[in-house]
Amino acid sequence: MILIVDDNPDNIYSLQKLLESKNFKVDTAHSGEEALKKILKYNYALIILDVQMPDMDGFEVAENIAGFSKTKETPIIFLSAVNTDKRFITKGYDSGGLDYVTKPVDPDILMLKVKTFYRLYEQTQALKDIQQALEMEVERRKQAQLELRSKVDYLHTLLESLPQIAFTCDHLGNIGFVNGRWFQFSDSENTFPQTHPDDRLIMAELQESLESGKPLEMEVRVKKRDESGYSYQLLRVWPILENGENNWVGTFTDIDAQKKAEQEKDEFLSIASHELKTPLTSIKAYMQLLDRKLSLDKNCPEAKYVGRVQDQVGKLNSLITDLLDISKIDNGKLRINKKVFSLERMVQNAIDSIVQTHDQSNMELYRQGDISGLMVYGDEIRLEQVLVNFLTNAYKYAAGTEKVIVDCSVMTDVVKVSVIDFGIGIPENKLSEVFDKFYRVEETSFDFQGLGIGLYICSEIIRSHQGTIAVESSAGKGATFYFTLPLNLPTDAE
C-alpha cells in the first residue's frame, strides 16, 4: 500500500486517482501528524510526501520516520515546489530510498519512480522472507543437533552403566564410542579385542552383518589384557537408526563361567556314558546266553522274563547311545560316513527293526510312495537312526491309535521321507522348539518317558547331510515328522 501525505485535498485526490488507475492500493494523510500515526500503525511500501505542509513539514516527517526502526527502511518520494537542499534530512536515513519530484507533478515521471520503488520494496520484502526462512531453518537444525547430542550423551551414559563391555560403530565398522570396560580386553578404543586363533574373526563377521543389515550374535573367546588367557564372551551387535543412518551398538557379555560349566557337563556325559556302556555290553552278552539256554527248555516259565529284560536292556542301550551322540555333537566329533546306498533298503531296515521291537503294539504300519531303485548319498546307519527315532516317537506319542504311515516322495532334486501318526500331536507354538537339545513339550512330558535329545540328534544328522528336517502338527491332530535329502550324487562317490 502507498501512503500519500499532502495538506491539499485536491493534490491528494488527483494523485490517488492516478495510482489507483495503475492498480496500486492507496491510503492518505492530510498532515504530518496524521501521517506519522498511520505509519506507526500500518505497513507501507512507499510514502509520497509533500514537503510544504503547515505545522510539521515533509522533512520533519521524514526525520521522524528515520527514527523508528519499524519504518526507517520505507522509501519516500518528496513532492516539492523547489529543489530544496536535502542534505539535512538524509542524515540518519540510510536505508530505503529517497527521491524528489517537483511540482507540478509529471504523472509519467512520478509513475516511473513509484514503480521502481515499489519493485524495490517487493524485492526487499521477498529477501526478508527468505532470510527469515533461512534463520528459522538454521535454528531448527541447531535445535535438532542439540537434541541428537543429548540423545547420544544419554546412550553413552547408558552404555557406561552396563555391566557388559559396550561400544558403538558406524555402518563401515569404525568404532565410535567404547565404555570403560572395553579396556579390560583392548588397549585401543579403535580396535576390537584379540580373539582366539580357532575362533571366527570379529571384524569379518561384523562386516557381513553390516552389509546385510542383520544383527550379529556370536560366541567368541577374547584375550584378556592382564595376560590371564582367553574369556568366552557373547558378542551381540545390532543396528540403531540415528540421524537417518544405520549406526550399530554392540555388547560383549561374559559367558565364561557358563561355558566352563557346559564343558564340564559335556565331559561328564561323555565319561558317564562310556563307563555305562561297558558293563551294559556284558549284561547284553550274558542275557543272550541265558536266553539261548532257557529257550531250549520249552516249559521254562522264566524264559519270557529274559525277553523282557532284553527289551529293557535295549532301551537302556539306546539311551546311553543317545547321550554319547550328544557329547560327540557338542565336541564336533559326530562322525558321518557317506556312501551311495539304496534308500529303499534303509527304510525297510528301519521299519523291520521298529516292528520287531513293538510286536506288542496294535498299530498297523503302512507304506506310501515307491522309491525302489533310488540311490542316495549319505550315512546309511545315521539316517536309519533318524527314521527309527521318528517311528519310535510315533509309537510312543500315538500309542492306542490304529496306524502310522511311512511316506516316501521323490521331488525335483530332493527325496522326502515322512512319518505320519495320528496321536497327541504338538501345539503349534511349540513346533519350532522340538528339535532343540533337551526340549520336551511341557504338557505331555509327565505322561511319557524321554530325555528330549532324540530329535536334536536327528536334526544334527540331517544338517550334516545338507537336508531339511521339520514337523507339521497341532495339538490332538497327530504329527508328521519328515526329512529331505538332496538327490545329487557326488561324481566321485563310490
391 scored as a contact of ligand ADP (CB under 6 A): no
Q: How far apart are CA 124 and CA 64, in angstroms?
A: 22
Nearer to ligand ADP, 15 or 441 (CB): 441
- The minimum distance between CB 387 and ligand ADP, in angstroms, equals 13
Looking at residue 180, what DSSP letter applies? Answer: G
Looking at residue 320, what DSSP letter applies? Answer: H
479 scored as a contact of ligand ADP (CB under 6 A): yes
459 scored as a contact of ligand ADP (CB under 6 A): no
421 scored as a contact of ligand ADP (CB under 6 A): yes
248 scored as a contact of ligand ADP (CB under 6 A): no
Q: How far apart are CA 317 and CA 371, in angstroms?
A: 31
The contacts found for 389-394 with CB under 8 angstroms, 24 or more apart, are 389/454, 389/455, 389/457, 389/458, 390/419, 390/458, 390/481, 391/350, 391/351, 391/354, 391/365, 391/419, 392/354, 392/454, 393/419, 393/454, 393/455, 393/481, 394/419, 394/420, 394/421, 394/423, 394/479, 394/481
426 scored as a contact of ligand ADP (CB under 6 A): yes
| Distance (Å) of CA 260 to CA 218, 255, 272, 439, 462 | 17, 9, 18, 22, 28
463 scored as a contact of ligand ADP (CB under 6 A): no
HEC readout, 14-69: HHHHHHHHCCCCEEEECCHHHHHHHHHHCCCCEEEEECCCCCCCHHHHHHHHHHCC
Helical pair 32-41 and 58-67, crossing angle rounded to 10 deg: 30
Nearer to ligand ADP, 302 or 442 (CB): 442
453 scored as a contact of ligand ADP (CB under 6 A): yes
How many other CB atoms are found less than 10 A from the CB of residue 140? 10
Q: Residue 301 in contact with residue 342, Cβ under 8 Å?
A: no
Nearer to ligand ADP, 113 or 440 (CB): 440
Q: How far apart are CA 266 and CA 294, in angstroms?
A: 41
Q: Given its phi and psi angles, is residue 155 left (phi above 0), alpha (psi -120 to 50 degrees) or beta?
A: alpha
Nearer to ligand ADP, 9 or 400 (CB): 400
Interface pick for ligand ADP out of 354, 406, 434, 462 (rule CB under 6 A):
434
Following DSSP, what letter does each residue of 361-376 receive, concatenated? ---EEEEES--TT-EE
- The minimum distance between CB 406 and ligand ADP, in angstroms, equals 13
Q: Given its phi and psi angles, is residue 70 left (phi above 0), alpha (psi -120 to 50 degrees) or beta?
A: alpha
Nearer to ligand ADP, 105 or 316 (CB): 316
Nearer to ligand ADP, 292 or 315 (CB): 315
28 scored as a contact of ligand ADP (CB under 6 A): no
Nearer to ligand ADP, 178 or 455 (CB): 455
289 scored as a contact of ligand ADP (CB under 6 A): no
Interface pick for ligand ADP out of 4, 222, 346, 394 (rule CB under 6 A):
394
441 scored as a contact of ligand ADP (CB under 6 A): yes
Q: Residue 231 in contact with residue 255, Cβ under 8 Å?
A: no
Closest CA to 78 of 97, 55, 54: 97
- The minimum distance between CB 436 and ligand ADP, in angstroms, equals 9
Nearer to ligand ADP, 177 or 439 (CB): 439
Nearer to ligand ADP, 75 or 423 (CB): 423
Closest CA to 303 of 316, 293, 315: 293
Say how many residues touch ligand ADP, by CB under 6 A. Answer: 21
Q: Residue 180 in contact with residue 166, Cβ under 8 Å?
A: no
Following DSSP, what letter does each residue of 326-357 receive, concatenated? HHHHHTT------EEEEHHHHHHHHHHHHHHH
Interface pick for ligand ADP out of 424, 461, 469, 485 (rule CB under 6 A):
424
Measured at CB, which residue is nearest to ligand ADP? 450
- The minimum distance between CB 227 and ligand ADP, in angstroms, equals 44
- The minimum distance between CB 439 and ligand ADP, in angstroms, equals 6
455 scored as a contact of ligand ADP (CB under 6 A): yes
393 scored as a contact of ligand ADP (CB under 6 A): yes
397 scored as a contact of ligand ADP (CB under 6 A): yes
Site string for ligand ADP, 338-377 (x = CB under 6 A): ----------------------------------------
Looking at residue 205, what DSSP letter applies? Answer: H
- The minimum distance between CB 489 and ligand ADP, in angstroms, equals 30
395 scored as a contact of ligand ADP (CB under 6 A): no
- The minimum distance between CB 149 and ligand ADP, in angstroms, equals 53
Interface pick for ligand ADP out of 162, 240, 451, 493 (rule CB under 6 A):
451
- The owner of cell 518317558 is 449
460 scored as a contact of ligand ADP (CB under 6 A): no
Looking at residue 450, what DSSP letter applies? Answer: -
- The minimum distance between CB 401 and ligand ADP, in angstroms, equals 11
Stretch that binds ligand ADP, among 55-63, 143-151, 379-387, 439-447 (CB under 6 A): 439-447
Task: Return the bridge partners of 253, or none.
Answer: 234
323 scored as a contact of ligand ADP (CB under 6 A): no
Judged by the rule CB under 6 A, the positions of this chain that interact with ligand ADP are 393-394, 397, 421, 423-426, 434, 439-441, 444, 450-456, 479
